Amino acid sequence: MTEATFTFRVDSALKAAFNAMAEEQDMSAAQILRRMMREAVENHDEAAAHGRWQLREIGDAMHEADRTHGHRLSNDAIEAEWDQRIEKTDQSDGA
């Protein structure tokens, strides 16, 4: 593994608090930062993989719906149908 130096600026009070926390955990600040960086990368990779899986599942479901039902209704068509149903219900309740 090739190592590289990572340099950045941080508020001195934050650095002091972080170093104190690291010392309490019997770890160096560098060890904690490396662990945090690894976890951040792993979380990002897992989230990206989940997003790709979710998109595949949605695409598969849409394909299956098209294959089995032949078409999809537009949002406007669905709203119009429900408006009619509500109107019929309102009329039958008032009768």
* pLDDT per residue as tens, the chain (95 positions): 788 998 999 999 999 999 999 999 999 999 999 999 999 999 999 999 999 999 999 999 888 877 766 667 789 999 999 999 999 998 887 75
Indicate yes or no: pTM above 0.85. Answer: no
Please tell me the predicted confidence (pLDDT) of residue 52.
96
Please tell me the predicted confidence (pLDDT) of residue 58.
94
For residue 55, how far is the Cα from the chain centroid? 12
| Block residue for tokens 């078409």 | 71
The DSSP code for 9 is -
Please tell me the predicted confidence (pLDDT) of residue 93.
77
Non-local (6+) Cβ contacts of 83 within 8 A are none
Please tell me the predicted confidence (pLDDT) of residue 42.
96
Are 22 and 28 spatial neighbours (Cβ–Cβ below 8 Å)?
yes
